[in-house]
Chain A
Amino acid sequence: MKDIFLQVAQVLTVLLLSPLLHGFIVKMEEKVQRGQGPSIFQPYWDLWKLFHKTQLVPETATWVFFWAPVVAFVAMMIVPMLIPVLTNFPLPLSDMGDILGGGLILTLGSFFILLAGLDTGQPFGGLGSSRAVMLGILAEPTLILVFVGITFLDHSMLPFVANHLLAQSPVAYWSPAHIFLVLAFIILLTVETDRLPIHSTIPYEIYMIDEARILEYSGPLLALLKWASWMKQFILYTIFLNVFLFPWGLSVSGDFGSVLLALLVILAKYGAVGLFMVMVDTVQSRLRFYRYQEPLALSFLFAVLAIVADQL
């Protein structure tokens, strides 16, 4: 019974805290630029506003247009069941899929948004979708290699095993294989959560990649898409922190108090990674289109080095 409650709590954590994380990063970016910035709760009000607007649908849209946001949103609600968000032990539904399965569901969501971008036949949607596919071609092999690397390290496909191994053995934690996986994942994180070396922070059509795919959306469906993208960011931070970088601070027993403590730790460590991303966004300039492969080649290199170092 308690386990089921915890499982629901994991999903709710991702659902409810992901706008806060986004709001925090936006606020901090403004602060760095000496601006005032919106409140960190602004994303919630945005969602509220969007859910109360009328839904407008382009004449050329088909069923894909309706279903893409729903699929993306539901996919992002499934992944938190598979990964350690609050507890460091598996919950009843955690063995539905392994670490590659989680990656597959994450990709399924973006795949449907991609189809939706192409669906209406609007030029910016096609542009955004084709760019997103190019990035996917460059980034996905590295993501799979990172998962393979962590599998070599802990001899298991489950994220919980990796969490336990890294939390308990300093030798594994400081081994070069693990450090390379962390470095490779940081680069992937900037790419997948729309941060700067590749994604622009300015909402300007020429630079758009992910936003261009959803330009046609409005009202509740747009709210779902935005929420899904914030949840994706939160989930990737979860994988990065709870599986790779900082496997401590999760609830071990599953008691109410320890879960509450885990929530507080989550706020602190996700905020820290958020601040790191703000730093990246501040010091990095955007790469031009034909240099996109450079950070991703670096990430691929780190993943390969990690696998080589794993063999030793």
Chain B
Amino acid sequence: MLIFHLGPLATSLFSLLAILALVLSFVMLGSHWLKNHVYAFAAESWVIAAISASIGYYGHYPELYIIAALSALFRGSLLPYLVLRLVKRLHINREFTPLLKPSSSMLLGAALVIFSYEVARQLGVSLHLTDNIAVLALTCMFSLKLIGFLMMILRSEAISHILGLLVIENGIFLGSQIIVPGMPALLELVIIFDLVTIVMAFGMLVRFLQSHAGTTSSRGLQKLVG
């Protein structure tokens, strides 16, 4: 729960940043181009870093500045760089494999936002969350997670799967930053190294996939099963 009280302007700022992160995930859902997906992910990470920093400022948690710098460095710069390098080496520019058109998937995403708002509201009632910002953070967290899942379900390109995973993780991180701001810095370090490992491992897997199966779409993998 939010341990400190927020002024109205800070509340507006936090909700603005949280919702900005949500909108950036819709950019990923609505665009065909993998580069746009990566840029949107990078921007989303920077927004989340800004959330960390401003919570550190308003709530007087000095260690959150370090976390903000770390997320800007790793999530906002290193991971997008790695994924972009992967995109360039694989020579895939567009997502050719979505099950739904961008407009339909955006509408589906809007439905998921409404669903997660409903869940967050129920949670807020049962947990006696008096601050609206906590409900908003929960909404954004659930929406980002569901949108990440949606990206992974609707698209079968391996890079989209990596990005889906990263979006889910971003969502969890955003929620935790606002709801439990005093999370130990060590935990954040562990998560960041996890992410770097995930992206590296996925990169190797994807290149292996391309050299052996001749495709980077996970739909081609069904043939290998039985």
Contact = CB atoms under 8 A, between A and B. Distances in A.
Interface of A: 170-171, 174-176, 179-180, 291, 293-294, 296-298, 300-301, 304-305, 308-309, 311-312
7 contacts: A171-B8, A171-B9, A293-B103, A297-B30, A298-B106, A301-B106, A304-B110
Contacts of A179: 16, 19
Contacts of B101: 294
Given A308-B113, A309-B19, A312-B135, A298 B30 contact: yes
B12 A175 contact: yes
B26 A308 contact: no
Question: Considering the complex of A and B, which 8 residue pairs feature the smallest CB-CB distances, nearest first?
Answer: A297-B103, A176-B19, A312-B132, A293-B103, A304-B110, A174-B12, A301-B110, A171-B8
B16 A174 contact: yes
B110 A300 contact: yes
A296 B30 CA distance: 12
Contacts of A180: 19
A303 to B, nearest CB: 9
A308 B139 contact: yes
B132 to A, nearest CB: 5
A33 to B, nearest CB: 27
B35 to A, nearest CB: 17
Interface of A is mostly: helix
Interface of B: 8-9, 11-13, 15-16, 19, 22-23, 26, 30, 101-104, 106-107, 109-110, 113-114, 117, 121, 132, 135-136, 139
Contacts of A170: 9, 12
A297 B106 contact: yes
Contacts of A293: 103
A175 B107 contact: no
B15 A305 contact: no
Given A301-B106, A308-B113, A309-B19, A294 B12 contact: no
Nearest to A172: B12
Contacts of A171: 8-9, 11-12
Nearest to A183: B23
Contacts of B8: 171
A312 B106 contact: no
B107 A301 contact: yes
A301 B136 contact: no
Contacts of A301: 26, 106-107, 109-110
A309 B117 CA distance: 9
Given A308-B114, A312-B15, A312-B132, 19 more contacts: A170-B9, A171-B8, A171-B11, A171-B12, A174-B9, A174-B12, A174-B16, A176-B16, A179-B19, A293-B103, A294-B30, A294-B101, A298-B103, A301-B109, A304-B110, A304-B113, A304-B114, A308-B113, A308-B139
Contacts of A297: 30, 102-104, 106-107
A174 B15 CA distance: 9
Contacts of B135: 312
Contacts of B12: 170-171, 174-175
A305 B136 contact: no
A242 to B, nearest CB: 22
A304 B26 CA distance: 13
Contacts of B22: 305
B45 to A, nearest CB: 20
A294 B8 CA distance: 35
Contact of A176 (B15, B26, B109): B15
